[in-house]
Amino acid sequence: MAAGIDNPTDPEWVDDVLLAGPADQVCLVLGAPVDRTMLRALVAERIKALREAGLRAGGSVAVCLPPSLAFVTNLLAIWRIGGRAALLDHRLTAFEVEQAIERLAPQFVVNVEKSSGGALRAFQDVQEKIVARAEGRPSDTSHALIQLSSGSTGPSKSIGRTASDLIAEIERYKAIGAGVPAPGERIVSLASMVHVLGLVGGLLYGLHAGVQLVLPGRMTADAILDAVAAGPEPTTLLGVPFHIELLAAVAEPPRLPQLTGMTTGGELVRAQVHDAFADRYGIRLGNMYGMTELGVIATDLFGTHRPAVLPAPGIEVRADDGELHIAMENSPYVGLVDPARWSDGWLHTKDAGSVEEGTGLVRVRGRRDSQVSIGGLKVDLSEVEHTLAGLPGVQAAVVVYGKAIEAYVVLEPAAELSAVQDALTERVAAYKRPRAWHAVEQLPRTATGKLVRDQSVLSGAR
């Protein structure tokens, strides 16, 4: 099925697509195993609680919970009732949550009453509470899910997806085949369940396919590797480049014969990090190109085409004046009418790229708005950034344009900025080089681990 479809879907899709399966099959491991009997019972409890609070089919709920069994059961219960769930990242500030709730106007908010917290906890034990909002409005669209874009280049957008579109993405994972975890295997997910990679690629696909979803106890390298070692089944890690860097920094990882590969999304992994990870673990490192607007778009799960990716089955990609466009039946944006983002059945990704004739391989070359004109000459900031990030002595880098090209750099402990500048001079033409340099201790990242390229946010990192 095409992306962005809006076929009517009965709430029973939750039973048929996500909860069906052998009663004693362990489907989740969040500290302790959860089999399907237990999950169905917990979802039924939440359905009862939400209905008693007043939620009906067509109603709207904002879910602001950390990764937890409560997050999973409330989400499935809202969908089973026929409601719309808006996911708010629990790491947002109270001010950001308030702004999002004001914008989305849900009838109910499910948030934390009590939890076992901790900054590095990958999941929490949560006691939730349901708060009714008299000023909230029922859903005025057919969307089952509302997510906020990562906001890596500016304010986030509200993105809606229907149940039929989510089911189509689950089927897309199945159709990709090799490299996607098979029934009976495990996913140790490091990706946030609030965002599309962890939500659909981890939780929803895992529930549907009979793949056990495991969250490590803590988001540390040792805890992640312990989670892999805890089961004998073939295991795939699912995360973003930040997690690869974390694991690549382990000097001598334990032998883990069940670890078959890692799949990453979000942005391209730096070459030296890719190589360091491959040296440490000797497993496949796959790349995935996707967007909140439609989920997985293209993959290279065995690193065969790196840095290119092959469109997922059913996805049509074209390059239009250097910008990637994806065939998409309906606009995914809620409350936004902007033909520069979707028109005539095509999503305008704002990503610069190309599609290879004959093979269909897609090259993503960074954000289209990363291209600027300097003295009449085009400069691709992502090209400069990738070159800079690949230099010896550089841990991470972001290149942006204000009044001039500026570089924000995190250096290795013994590295000198002047040496990095000299190395870049050898590799990049003068008109492309940064005019302002900022050596910082840390670069801001979005909740999904992407580097932030919003200059107003970056200036706070100096």
Task: Say which residues have a Cβ less than 8 Å from residue 37's Cβ, sequence separation at least 6.
Answer: 23, 24
Transcribe 214-281 into DSSP letters.
E--SBSSHHHHHHHHHT--S-EEEEE-HHHHHHHHT-SSPPP-TTEEEEEE-SSPPPHHHHHHHHHHH
Rounded to an integer, what distance in angstroms lies between the CA atom of residue 29 and that of residue 188?
9
3-state secondary structure at position 128: strand
The pLDDT, as a whole number, for residue 2 is 59
The pLDDT, as a whole number, for residue 136 is 96
Task: Say which residues have a Cβ less than 8 Å from residue 172's Cβ, sequence separation at least 6.
Answer: 295, 296, 312, 313, 314, 315
DSSP class of 286: E
Rounded to an integer, what distance in angstroms lies between the CA atom of residue 27 and that of residue 22?
10
The pLDDT, as a whole number, for residue 459 is 76
**What is the tens place of the pLDDT at every residue in 406-455?**
999 999 998 999 999 999 998 888 888 999 999 999 888 876 667 787 77
Task: Say which residues have a Cβ less than 8 Å from residue 116's Cβ, sequence separation at least 6.
Answer: 124, 125, 126
The pLDDT, as a whole number, for residue 149 is 74
The Cα-based distances of 350 to 266, 341, 358, 377, 380 in angstroms read: 15, 8, 24, 20, 14
The pLDDT, as a whole number, for residue 365 is 81
The pLDDT, as a whole number, for residue 383 is 79
- Residues of the chain with pLDDT below 50 are none
The pLDDT, as a whole number, for residue 107 is 98
Question: Model-level pTM?
Answer: 0.84
Strands 235-239 and 259-264: parallel
The pLDDT, as a whole number, for residue 376 is 63
Rounded to an integer, what distance in angstroms lies between the CA atom of residue 299 and that of residue 342?
23
The pLDDT, as a whole number, for residue 401 is 85
Task: Name the amino acid, one letter, at 457.
Answer: V
Backbone angles phi, psi at 102, to 5 degrees: -65, -40
3-state secondary structure at position 36: helix
Rounded to an integer, what distance in angstroms lies between the CA atom of residue 439 and that of residue 432?
19
